[in-house]
Structure 1
């Protein structure tokens, strides 16, 4: 099966008959350079071969393959609050041909949340599955590729301890932004985690009954606060390399932070690539970058602002205090 799946990747993992099944897609030589994993996958599925020819295996087959072909090493994890510049970080890392950047890959999310759909799944199983998925997605398909970076979904910071067990000692960062601005973005177009149903209420410090009937803006504000609290808690309890980065510092300091944290050795050819990324809209690279801070501040509703201040401001300020303390040690 290993030879049969050469050039293929686990595109989707789903529950079938009480077990996880893996749908494979032939990626060929295509790199993960789109802002999100699913965009690369969708582009590939426009090719007749990838669309017509599929493989499906058990999760056990994926795990067995990982034992034989573990993939490139994971060199960095990117956690974030959502709508705070993490896509730009992913695009900067993806711009260097020696990196495989997996940006919010659906198969990673599926295995991280497998215990919500399959009773009895243990942390050890999730760790094994996670390593297998990332190993398969992180296969070297170009001679220059040397390392894998994971940009996780926003809610995955709630699983930070498990991810650190899966990838021990790997440097990580947590990005955040003024909660009012993030709330404004989600009021315009809500992310999946801002709607009840995706996340276990217990992870948010809520009882199931509390969620029922809770206004969407309040639920969203509490989700954002819980995500930031998990990032702050992980940073305070860190035992390895980790950095906090605020959206306002991303354009001026982001590249330096990435270089220091992940040990990037930039070449003369890298610098214009990275400069080009910084000048473009990360989610839509055909457009130039424009700071939307003032627009978001104007667009948020008065209720959204009040809830963001109530739930998000205290933890945002605590994150800022820790970031400034780390940058200016006594």
Structure 2
């Protein structure tokens, strides 16, 4: 039986369904989440992964899932839209961290981390990218669970998204889109794909920069087999056995979105930089360069740059590095 090692939760469900391994399916009123005792046998999360998309989050999730006994819930369906839409009445009001909301969020996560095989002893949750806007609310429900925020040069992210698309674009012109970007709904509806995604990612960067919770930052360029032990041990407070550590590093040999482990990954950053026009790159950097520099220099960054942060100089450095 799979322990959620596919690169997204939905693909695990498809895999289990194809094997006729799911059993009975049913729906239930949301107030079942008021009964925490129903999930008393669930694994309490060992760590959360937040990210901006196309930034090594799948690689990180699959690496953490490799050791025997590790469960990874990767972008679980119940946390993609339904829960957040319910507590905000379809994004017409803020999500308040009141007792009921925190209890229901906690129970929803624990409902997904119930043991499947019986030998699981750690569970991790990778949230869909835009869930980072709720990072402090999630932390209020799980105040003792460490979390990572993985990010990347948005030029490269947007180049990847333009090729493969993303669900974030479906929110343009909606109340959810206004929430994700911080822009009026009508203004967001007028933006191009590049400018809309830039606004979304800038909001994610801003939220991560100002997060009050235990959130460690990792830039994609710092993520690799040479650094992952530090990410796991310092970013997620994991005490790793040597065989578990080596199992995690094994993932770096393969393309993260190939569940067959039959293909390898090659660095595509230069190609993605070249995929956007000079004007598009300039617009993205104008909005995001300062925020990226602040994340890179943050004390919460596991690989923080030594030079002190200085707004204009950091923007010039960012631009020079990505010419």
Range of TM-score over shorter length: 0.7 to 0.9
* 1:290 corresponds to: 266
Distance 1:139 1:117, change over 3 A: same
TM-score scaled by length of structure 2: 0.83
Secondary structure at the aligned position of 2:262 is classed as: coil
Distance, in Å, in 2 between the alignment partners of 1:311 and 1:220 is 11
* 2:198 corresponds to: 221
* 1:30 corresponds to: 2
Aligned residues: 296
The superposition leaves residues 167-213 of structure 1 with CA deviations (integer Å, 9 ceiling, x where unpaired) of 11211111111121112112212211134148341442211221232
In proportion to residue count, which structure has more strand? 1
Distance, in Å, in 2 between the alignment partners of 1:69 and 1:314 is 43
In the alignment, is residue 304 of structure 1 matched against residue 280 of structure 2? Answer: yes
> Aligned-pair RMSD on alpha carbons?
2.5
In the alignment, is residue 152 of structure 1 matched against residue 122 of structure 2? Answer: no
Structure 2 residues not aligned, in runs of 5+? 309-323
Distance, in Å, in 2 between the alignment partners of 1:216 and 1:329 is 34
Task: Indicate conservation of the 8 Å contact 2:231/2:302, yes or no.
Answer: no
In the alignment, is residue 189 of structure 1 matched against residue 164 of structure 2? Answer: yes
Distance, in Å, in 2 between the alignment partners of 1:324 and 1:95 is 22
Task: Indicate conservation of the 8 Å contact 2:91/2:176, yes or no.
Answer: no
In the alignment, is residue 140 of structure 1 matched against residue 125 of structure 2? Answer: no
Distance 1:49 1:72, change over 3 A: closer
User: 2:61 is matched with which residue: 90, 100, 105?
Assistant: 90
User: 1:206 is matched with which residue: 183, 203, 209?
Assistant: 183
In the alignment, is residue 314 of structure 1 matched against residue 314 of structure 2? Answer: no
User: 2:255 is matched with which residue: 275, 281, 297?
Assistant: 281
The superposition leaves residues 220-278 of structure 1 with CA deviations (integer Å, 9 ceiling, x where unpaired) of 111111111111111xx34x4x3111111101313322122223233343244223201
Distance 1:116 1:96, change over 3 A: farther
In the alignment, is residue 105 of structure 1 matched against residue 76 of structure 2? Answer: yes
* 1:270 corresponds to: 244
* 2:144 corresponds to: 169
* 2:22 corresponds to: 50
Task: Indicate conservation of the 8 Å contact 2:297/2:306, yes or no.
Answer: no
Shift of 1:50: 3.4
* 1:3 corresponds to: none
Distance 1:188 1:32, change over 3 A: same
Shift of 1:157: 0.9
Distance, in Å, in 2 between the alignment partners of 1:49 and 1:247 is 36
Distance 1:134 1:117, change over 3 A: same
Distance, in Å, in 2 between the alignment partners of 1:50 and 1:173 is 31
Structure 1 residues not aligned, in runs of 5+? 1-28
Shift of 1:113: 2.9
* 2:219 corresponds to: 246
* 1:68 corresponds to: 38
TM-score scaled by length of structure 1: 0.81
Task: Indicate conservation of the 8 Å contact 1:187/1:300, yes or no.
Answer: no
Distance, in Å, in 2 between the alignment partners of 1:287 and 1:111 is 36
* 1:9 corresponds to: none
Task: Indicate conservation of the 8 Å contact 1:157/1:231, yes or no.
Answer: yes
